[in-house]
Amino acid sequence: MDLIGLLKSQFLCHLVFCYVFIASGLIVNTIQLFTLLLWPVNKQLFRKINCRLSYCVSSQLVMLLEWWSGTECVIHTDPQAYSKYGKENAIVVLNHKFEIDFLCGWSLAERFGVLGGSKVLAKKELAYVPIIGWMWYFTEMVFCTRKWEQDRKTVSQSLLHLRDYPEKYFFLIHCEGTRFTEKKHQISMQVAQAKGLPSLKYHLLPRTKGFAITVRSLRNVVSAVYDCTLNFRNNENPTLLGVLNGKKYHADLYVRRIPLEEVPEDEDECSAWLHKLYQEKDAFQEEYYRTGTFPETAMVPPRRPWTLVNWLFWASLLLYPFFRFLINMISSGSSLTLASFVLVFFVASVGVRWMIGVTEIDKGSAYGNIDSKQKRSD
């Protein structure tokens, strides 16, 4: 390991990133709270401000991937479709197999300049998580309970609110609902067999109702579905801890632009269309494992500097008073002060490991009794 690689793996560096992220995130959340005063006066101005505030937080994670880790992502796509990316609203359907696939989705949005306004279909519990969850609430993210009778009305209403959204956005949706593991795949294929659907080798059976209601609610506002199939070269198994340690990964992302007019309006036909899409995604993955590449032209959209500039701004604003405070604590010589410092350091260490741990595949959502029942009703 070289000197820079050794430096990137040090916990002190991780603690700095964590401190800047948490402190800046709480500042942003506080500012967002005050922007609520704008909502009854000028809703569109409220939305535009919160897009910029959201970028201040989410771009820090993208910065870790693109600048700290240096992870490369090659996009394989039709050059004619490429020219439209970032210039239109789109529903992004991404496979859900890797710990950092959500970061790759955010990186895609950042490369095309729509990260601040982009949306996801997320679990309702995340709305209560400080920083990311609260930020999402103010940017009108769409939350679901994964209980269709409850979600049918609330998700539809949230999506309809986005019809007059003033910023371009990608609406990212993981139709599989949870990350791929062998155990989850086995259960999913049992459901597929029971429903008479073709088996999938590299994906879980997609949940169709959320996708169908998204298409129906955003039709004539969203121009296309971007079918995105992600994989990593040389059988790399990327993790958020690896990114934090500065490990460089090599991603390939196959993006197909499908005009929304080609997606059926009828719910049953839309469901059949999505199942067919996942069978095609499975074939693309099979081809990738066989040849090491995806179809279409390989392109690498350039990194934009703004994620790095944003992090440097927050670091310069927050680190000086933080280190000055630490130095004053240590120089005081008080046993109680030093003990408090050790305790804070320990709690911070546990906090960093916990934040990383919740992204691990084996810590993902349960996929069994309840999940399989939901799939049977899909």
Closest CA to 67 of 231, 241, 237, 248: 248
What does the buried/exposed string (b/e) look like for 72-83 if buried means 16 or more CB atoms within 10 Å of the residue's CB? ebbbbbeeebbe
The residue whose two tokens read 């991404």 is: 94
Pairing of strands 170-173, 250-259: unpaired
The string of DSSP letters for 284-330 reads HHHHHHHHSS-SSEEE-PPPPTHHHHHHHHHHHHHHHHHHHHHHHHH
Q: Can you state the angle between helices 101-111 and 43-63, rounded to 10 degrees?
A: 120
Residue 144: per-residue pLDDT: 87
- Pairing mode, strands 72-77 and 297-299: antiparallel
- Taking the CA atoms of the chain, what radius of gyration do you get in angstroms? 22
Classified as helix, coil or strand, 93 is strand
How far the first Cα of the chain sits from its last, in Å, is 49
Find residue 144's DSSP bridge partners. Answer: 123
CA distances (Å), origin 378, targets 154, 216, 279: 18, 16, 17
CA distances from 236 to 74, 98, 247, 298 (A): 15, 10, 11, 19
Which domains, from first to last, does the chain contain? 3-306 (3.40.1130)
In DSSP notation, 317-376 reads HHHHHHHHHHHHHHHT--HHHHHHHHHHHHHHHHHHHHHHHTTSGGGS---SHHHHHHHH
Would you give per-residue pLDDT tens digits along the chain (378 residues)?
578 888 888 878 888 898 899 999 999 999 999 999 999 999 999 999 999 999 999 999 999 999 999 999 999 999 999 999 999 999 999 999 999 999 999 999 999 999 999 999 888 888 888 899 999 999 999 998 877 788 888 999 999 999 999 999 999 999 998 889 999 999 999 999 999 999 999 999 999 999 999 999 999 999 999 999 999 999 999 999 899 999 999 999 999 999 999 999 999 999 999 999 999 999 999 999 999 999 999 999 999 999 999 999 999 999 988 888 777 777 776 777 667 766 766 666 666 565 555 544 444 454 444 444 544 445
Closest alpha carbon to 274 in 191, 193, 212, 339: 212
pLDDT of residue 149: 80
pTM given for the model: 0.89
Helix or strand or coil: residue 76? Answer: strand
Q: Across-strand partners of 225?
A: 91, 258
Residues near 133 by beta carbon (within 8 Å), at least 6 away in sequence: 126, 127
Nearest Cα residue to 116 out of 54, 47, 33: 54
pLDDT of residue 346: 66
